[in-house]
Amino acid sequence: MTERKPSNLDFESWIDKQIREATERGEFENLPGAGKPIPRGSDDENWWLKGYLRKEGASGDALLPPSLLLRRDIERLPATVRELSSEQAVRETVRELNKRIVEWLRLPHGPYVRVAPVDTEEVVAQWRAERRPSRSPATAPANTAPSPDRADPAPTRWWHRLFPRPT
């Protein structure tokens, strides 16, 4: 179909002629999915895109804007560093994430989502706390009770890391 439309024909008759000639040559035979109904998804308007990504084995992360990817990576950071075996690896992971955050903050594009660099020392401290072996009740001294003046602080929520309270 590289030929140009003749000036004396309108588009509809020219296209119909092209389709008729291709049908006569058998170019529409043995096409994948021939004779099968077009698969319908749910009422989701992006059903075809989701089906294509599933068929190709790809995730939808490539379709997300950078700001949302950064926000998601910040939220998943505790689970990501939990699997790491050394403090150096934790620091390197946080450093790489902070580098991406700073690059986006210098020239933001896409929807604006509040993101800020992650505190490396806080992440390392949480990583250490999770790796510290807890004492079992059998090995703990019997007469020690938690002192009321030294209560454990509430766990840090993800929005506290993003929006620290003024001190």
Give the whole-angstrom CA distance, residue 89 versus residue 70: 19
Using a CB cutoff of 8 Å and minimum separation of 24, what contacts does 102-111 make? Answer: 104/66, 104/67, 104/70, 108/67, 109/65, 109/66, 110/65, 110/66, 110/67, 110/68, 111/65, 111/67, 111/68
**3-state SS string over the chain?**
CCCCCCCCCCHHHHHHHHHHHHHHHCCCCCCCCCCCCCCCCCCCCCHHHHHHHHHHCCCHHHHCCHHHHHHHHHHHHHHHHHCCCCHHHHHHHHHHHHHHHHHHHHCCCCCCCCCCCCCHHHHHHHHHHHHCCCCCCCCCCCCCCCCCCCCCCCCCCHHHHHCCCCC
Let me know if residue 42 belongs to a domain: no
Dist CA 155 CA 152 (whole Å): 9
The larger pLDDT score, comparing residue 159 to residue 36, is at 36
Q: pLDDT at position 110, please?
A: 83
The answer to whether residue 23 scores a pLDDT higher than 60 is: yes
- Summary mean pLDDT of the chain: 80
pLDDT digits (tens, 9 = 90+) for 24-55: 998 888 888 778 877 665 677 888 888 888 88
- Structural domain of 72: 64-131
Q: Residues 6 or more apart from 108 whose CB is under 8 A from it?
A: 67
Specify the pLDDT at position 54.
85
Residue 27 lies in a domain: no
Q: Is residue 111 part of a domain?
A: yes
Enter the pTM of the model: 0.52
Evaluate if residue 89 carries a pLDDT over 80.
yes
Domain annotation covers residue 24: no
Q: What is the pLDDT of residues 60-81, one digit of tens each?
A: 787 789 999 999 999 999 999 9
pLDDT category, 145, cuts 50, 70, 90?
Answer: low
| Res 42: pLDDT | 63
Number of structural domains in the chain: 1
Phi, psi dihedrals of residue 93, rounded to the nearest 5°? -65, -45
